[in-house]
A and B are shown apart, each in its own frame.
Chain A
Amino acid sequence: MNSVFVYCEIEDGQVAEVSLELLTKGRSLATELKCQLEAVAIGYKLDGIEKDIFSYGVDVLHIADDKRLAPYSTLPHNSIVVKLFQEEKPQVALMGASSVGRDLGPRVSSALHSGLTADCTSLVIGDHEDKKLDKVYTDLLYQIRPAFGGNIIATIINPDCRPQMATVREGVMKKEILDPKYKGKVNKLDVSKYVNDTDFVVEMIERHMEKSKVNIKGAGIIVAGGYGVGSKENFNLLFELAEVLGGEVGASRAAVDSGYVDHDRQVGQTGTTVRPKLYIACGISGQIQHRAGMEESAQIIAINTDPEAPINSIADYVITGDVAVILPKMIKYYKANTK
């Protein structure tokens, strides 16, 4: 059977978190499909990179190591992945829905004429019957994602084209080592056979990468605000409560788009997926894209002026009222009860 394939994104010589999460998911898909899990790492000075990768259950790791391949640039990485997929013919290919994967994925899918589903929140193996063609497809990849402003959840399939490609955001899948002693095979690629000189037409002049200052993914308590918070100033209340509780501030896309807080605080399908022990949703209506990023929180408090807000349906506590009134009271009674 043709393999499941994961494109491993490399940051500063390390495999990106999202890629390790996808290797974990890829392993379980490969086991279910009874096929191999393959991966490709493209970059420079990748000696020993396999040590980080094999333990996730990778059977074959393809490595393209060349000074010109780091940092990431679209065209050379595209050429390598396209040729490799033509040779290996994977049935499933996964990439992070990161600024790299979302740049590379569509390019590869366009070259191979294969379907690509962006920002999946779930990947499942299943069958499909096409009644018109009277044909049954077995073991397809169901690519599941919210669509149309989050009012619907769509299951997408690629019945005829391979590989079935999907991107997934960091934090959506859980990272888990399969076996620290798992032994895969390394296949070093002869880079000159995969890239052309014309692939290096884009020249890097400057590059400043920083570790994210905000770590909402790792926070145990998140106080998140939506459009209903009303202003950047009102968000200060959320920061106060978060500080008092020892948590972080998160936000819905509507709040980020309105400029209340920075994008690195965005929770949801197009932001970060979080699983804190407490999620306090302030003025967030709770569209599916937002809920997709936080519904696994252990406890959810929803504060909203609208008693019918969708967020209330997944909440453990619903408080109908004004954020500006309720948050100061939460701070007050937290302090009063912890003295």
Chain B
Amino acid sequence: MKGYKIIVLAKQVPDTRNVGKDAMKADGTVNRAALPAIFNPEDLNALEQALRIKDNFPGTTITVLTMGPGRAAEIIREGLFRGADDGILLTDRAFAGSDTLATSYAIAQTLKKHGAYDIIIAGRQAIDGDTAQVGPQVAEKLGLPQITYVEEVQSISKGMVTVKRRLERGVEVVKCPVPLVITVNSSAPDCRARNAKLIMKYKHAKTISEMQEANEDYLHLYSDRPYLNIKEWTVQDIEVDHNELGLTGSPTKVKKIENVVLQSKGAKVITSSDEDMDQLMRELIENHTIG
């Protein structure tokens, strides 16, 4: 066996975890500029599982596949800096407004076009939507078995993958032959840091759109060193039914978005003084909330 062909599905997401006050504008809308774009955390857990398989099985290749705007090429470079072999950026205006189903269709069609894969690994869910849907939806469209909530790929032997799943109420160990789809939890080990040598090697890796904006002095690099070319695919590069894409291909529609406007219900404001604390505890005991 000459290693495994692994695809890591990754997403660039706004960092919604520690949203500060400047994340909302005065008019109550989301200030996207205040939220940094990051590699979706659980997709990094997924990448680490892929890298461990590569550590154990020489000849394994890892391709990072992401769908998003041009700047999402950043997370492909982040993958290359950590040990991925190449990447595909799937980007097209036709994908705008995709819900999870239209997204999984585009990704599944890309994987069909790309062909060879043994293991498709994704994070369980992305922090901007928390739906955990795209992994299983891709698996269904490719007719592959899925194993979700994975904490560890324990072993692979003759194409049979054994994994540990961390569920809400327990743990399962299951095995399944390749090809399959795996989604990885945040309880899995963190992704390794970027490797200095790989940063040197891949820092100029670019998609064709990025090359067009690059300094001309560097352009010779991309013919001399083909590994610096990040594949950039549009709908032209995959076979699609346009009715399945973007808003049109999305069964779910957003009917209404409400900004969260908080109206105080008139709380009692008290200090941390001994008098106030004493009074508070008396009040709670008297009205039988505690005690």
Q: How far is the CA of A338 from the CA of B289 in the complex (A)?
A: 13
Contact B290 A159 (CB under 8 A): no
B99 contacts partner chain A, Cβ-Cβ < 8 Å: yes
The 0/1 profile, CB within 8 Å of A marked 1, for residues 174-187 of chain B is: 11110000000010
Contact A149 B254 (CB under 8 A): no
CB distance from B291 to the nearest CB of A (A): 5
Contacts of B285 in A (CB 8 A): 334, 337-338
Q: How large is the interface on A (under 10, 10 to 19, 20 to 34, 35 or more residues)?
A: 35 or more
A25-33, A35-43, A172-180, A311-319 - the one binding chain B: A311-319
A74-B146 contact given A149-B19, A315-B267, A318-B268, CB 8 Å threshold: yes
Tell me which of A118, A119, A148, A338 contacts B16 (CB under 8 A): A148
Tell me which of B23, B100, B173, B267 contacts A317 (CB under 8 A): B267
Contact B169 A211 (CB under 8 A): yes
A54-62, A232-240, A325-333 - the one binding chain B: A325-333
B170 contacts partner chain A, Cβ-Cβ < 8 Å: yes
Contact B251 A114 (CB under 8 A): yes
List the B residue with the shortest CB-CB distance to A316: B267
A115-B149 contact given A151-B24, A318-B268, CB 8 Å threshold: no
Contacts of A333 in B (CB 8 A): 274, 277-278, 280-282
A308 contacts partner chain B, Cβ-Cβ < 8 Å: yes
CB distance from A30 to the nearest CB of B (A): 22
List the B residue with the shortest CB-CB distance to A269: B130
CB distance from A213 to the nearest CB of B (A): 10
Contacts of B17 in A (CB 8 A): 149, 254, 257
A245 contacts partner chain B, Cβ-Cβ < 8 Å: yes
Contact A128 B255 (CB under 8 A): yes
Q: How far is the CA of A146 from the CA of B128 in the complex (A)?
A: 11
List the A residue with the shortest CB-CB distance to B160: A203
Tell me which of B186, B253, B278 contacts A158 (CB under 8 A): B253
Contact B176 A106 (CB under 8 A): no
Q: How far is the CA of A337 from the CA of B176 in the complex (A)?
A: 61
The 0/1 profile, CB within 8 Å of B marked 1, for residues 69-107 of chain A is: 000001100100000000000000000001100111111
List the B residue with the shortest CB-CB distance to A114: B251
Contact A151 B23 (CB under 8 A): yes
- Residues B236-274 near A (CB distance < 8 A): 250-260, 262-265, 267-272, 274
Contact B177 A318 (CB under 8 A): no
CB distance from B24 to the nearest CB of A (A): 6
B147 contacts partner chain A, Cβ-Cβ < 8 Å: yes
Contact A202 B30 (CB under 8 A): no
Contacts of B263 in A (CB 8 A): 313
Size of B's binding interface in residues, CB under 8 A: 80
The 0/1 profile, CB within 8 Å of B marked 1, for residues 130-152 of chain A is: 00000000000011001111111
The 0/1 profile, CB within 8 Å of B marked 1, for residues 268-302 of chain A is: 01100000011000000001100000000011011
Contact B141 A110 (CB under 8 A): yes
Q: How far is the CA of A316 from the CA of B284 in the complex (A)?
A: 11
Q: How far is the CA of A118 from the CA of B252 in the complex (A)?
A: 11
Contact B254 A156 (CB under 8 A): yes
A110-B176 contact given A103-B148, A313-B265, CB 8 Å threshold: no
Contact B174 A150 (CB under 8 A): no
Contacts of B2 in A (CB 8 A): none
Contact B99 A115 (CB under 8 A): yes
Contact A149 B267 (CB under 8 A): no
A157-B133 contact given A151-B23, A207-B172, A337-B282, CB 8 Å threshold: no
Tell me which of B100, B127, B277 contacts A330 (CB under 8 A): B277
B14 contacts partner chain A, Cβ-Cβ < 8 Å: yes
Tell me which of B35, B254, B277 contacts A155 (CB under 8 A): B254
Contact A320 B271 (CB under 8 A): yes
B213 contacts partner chain A, Cβ-Cβ < 8 Å: no
Contacts of A128 in B (CB 8 A): 255
Known: A110-B104, A113-B101. 15 other contacts (CB 8 A): A103-B148, A104-B136, A110-B101, A154-B254, A158-B252, A201-B176, A204-B173, A209-B169, A269-B130, A278-B289, A310-B262, A313-B263, A316-B267, A318-B269, A334-B285
* Contact sample, A vs B, 19 pairs, CB 8 Å cutoff: A103-B136, A106-B134, A114-B251, A117-B252, A119-B131, A146-B260, A149-B14, A151-B30, A151-B259, A153-B260, A156-B255, A158-B252, A201-B145, A207-B170, A257-B17, A314-B265, A319-B269, A326-B277, A330-B281
Task: List residues of B whose CB falls within 8 A of some A CB.
Answer: 14, 16-19, 21, 23-24, 30, 35, 99-101, 104, 127-141, 145-149, 162, 167-177, 186, 250-260, 262-265, 267-272, 274, 276-278, 280-282, 284-285, 289-291
Top 3 nearest A-B pairs (CB, nearest first) are A149-B16, A115-B251, A115-B252
